[in-house]
Amino acid sequence: MFTGIVTDIGEIVSFKPVAQGQLHRLRIACSYDQTTIADGASIACNGVCLTVVASGVEGGRTWFEVDAAAETLGMTTAKHWAVGTSLNLERALKIGDELGGHIVAGHADGIATIVRRDDLPDMARFELSTTRELARFIAAKGSITLDGVSLTVNKVADVSFTVLIIPHTLGVTTIGAWQAGSEVNIEVDLMARYAARLSEMT
């Protein structure tokens, strides 16, 4: 489990197919202490929970490797990832960690597309659209995870919604590079999903 609070920005330094193309192995450079990264650990990469299969240090910089399956490549923005892509990273929660965002599973539900970006004096406002299936779980003032970042929904209209991003978040995540037309991973709030499921059963 995660909270949607990004703790590092990683960079893909290699991206190679393995197992007859059914998997792709990514090597991601980061600033984490390599001695704290165990094989089998979970790290959210742009909101996608991936399992560490190897780690090391090269050129004074830590790296770790993960495998992305065909389903991950098909359902998330991982299909656009390449060498040089920057990724929001978050380590899995440990007992006693501060819950700074909201409970995030790291299981992206799909993709949202940025419709518009407005740069305001003290923040940036993004309008995004997603599928009708996912839009029903999105509510004004509710929580949402975009590319692994826990955010609060500002307004909702049909399948579109807006979020306001403060300067700190723009500076410490990849959100600062978002532009109209960009695709981002979306994970809806778990509580909204369960509430919808319960309403369907009554």
pLDDT tens for each residue of the chain, 202 residues long: 899 999 999 999 999 998 776 799 999 999 999 999 999 999 999 999 999 999 999 999 999 999 999 889 999 999 999 999 999 999 998 776 777 778 898 999 999 999 999 999 889 999 999 999 999 999 999 999 999 999 999 999 999 999 999 999 999 999 999 999 999 999 998 877 767 766 776 6
Amino acid at 18: V
Could you give the CA distance from residue 87 to residue 148 in angstroms, rounded to a whole number? Answer: 9
CA distances (Å), 16 to each of 25, 44, 183, in order? Answer: 5, 19, 22
Could you give the CA distance from residue 136 to residue 129 in angstroms, rounded to a whole number? Answer: 12
Could you give the CA distance from residue 143 to residue 151 in angstroms, rounded to a whole number? Answer: 6
For the chain, the C-alpha Rg in angstroms (whole number) is 17
| Number of independent structural domains in the chain | 2
Looking at 91, 125, 141, the residue that finishes a domain is 91
Could you give the CA distance from residue 14 to residue 85 in angstroms, rounded to a whole number? Answer: 10
pLDDT of residue 21: 67
Q: 195: helix, coil or strand? A: helix
pLDDT of residue 1: 87
One domain, residues 78 and 115: no
One domain, residues 120 and 56: no
The answer to whether position 75 is within a domain reads yes
Q: What is the CATH number of the domain that holds 30?
A: 2.40.30.20
One domain, residues 118 and 197: yes
One domain, residues 127 and 190: yes
Could you give the CA distance from residue 192 to residue 28 in angstroms, rounded to a whole number? Answer: 32
The answer to whether position 185 is within a domain reads yes
One domain, residues 83 and 118: no
Looking at 56, 91, 126, the residue that finishes a domain is 91
End-to-end CA distance of the chain: 29
One domain, residues 125 and 170: yes
Q: What is the DSSP letter of 177?
A: G
Entry pTM? 0.92
One domain, residues 40 and 120: no
* Residue 174: domain span: 110-201
One domain, residues 53 and 115: no
The answer to whether position 28 is within a domain reads yes
Could you give the CA distance from residue 202 to residue 165 in angstroms, rounded to a whole number? Answer: 37
The answer to whether position 23 is within a domain reads yes
pLDDT of residue 154: 97
User: Helical H runs in the chain?
Assistant: 70-75, 132-135, 167-172, 190-201
The answer to whether position 104 is within a domain reads no
